[in-house]
Amino acid sequence: EWEVAAYRMDQLLDLNMVPPTVERSFQNDDGSCQYWVDYWINLAEKEEKNISFPRNKLYLWNRSVYLQRAFDNLIANVDRHQNQYLITEDWRMILIDHSRSFRTSKQYTKKLIYDEKNKEGSRIMKELPREFVEKLKSLDHDVIKKAVGEYLTDNEIEAVLLRRDLIMDWLKKRIEDLGEDKVLY
């Protein structure tokens, strides 16, 4: 179940952006159960109502967006849209719906979803926390398998590692171009 795997990957990376999610059986069907998050508005509603970010929250929101892009690049979430960004009253980002993640085809292991070539315009991981990048570097098959258990196949785990390498290569080039202090914090 990809919902549980996404939550466990979120926890492994200390992002705390995905609500707690566990496997449950209901009427003989297996599925996932996710903690209901009290939120103020989703990103689609915010845009529709033309609500601006408070100036004192915009900087941190943008950093959350860069982390979301790195996370979705890592897990190959191909279906992130504005209804899946929940915004709490204190302007924290909560990410829901990871049902179309963990892709294994070459399309998702040879290039990143979010980069300068994104069809929706530049949607890059502009800057990332050093701690997050170090956690990415430390991922290997055994670490991921221990975190996600039976929710991902070995092939899906290997695809995550290929995408991790793509992210690390992308970051290396960005650091070479801009300097580490402009990319990592």
Instruction: Give the model confidence (pLDDT) of 67-111 as tens digits.
Output: 999 999 999 999 898 889 999 999 999 999 998 999 999 999 999
Instruction: Judge whether residue 33 has pLDDT over 70.
Output: no
User: CB neighbours (10 Å) of residue 158?
Assistant: 15
Q: Beta-strand (E) ranges in the chain?
A: 21-26, 29-34, 41-42, 85-87, 93-95
The two structure tokens encoding residue 116: 């300068």
Instruction: Judge whether residue 128 has pLDDT over 70.
Output: yes
Instruction: Judge whether residue 39 has pLDDT over 90.
Output: no
Is residue 23 within 8 A of residue 30, CB to CB? The reply is: yes
pLDDT score of 121: 59
Please measure the distance between the N-terminal and C-terminal CA atoms of the chain and give it in whole angstroms: 33
CA distances from 174 to 75, 117, 122, 168, 178 (A): 21, 14, 14, 10, 6
Q: The whole model's pTM is what?
A: 0.91
Instruction: Judge whether residue 34 has pLDDT over 80.
Output: no
Find tokens 């449950």 and name the residue: 24
Contacts of 143 (CB under 8 A, 6+ apart): 12
**pLDDT band at residue 120 under the 50/70/90 scheme:** low
SS3 for 144? helix
Whole-number percent of the chain with pLDDT over 90 = 74
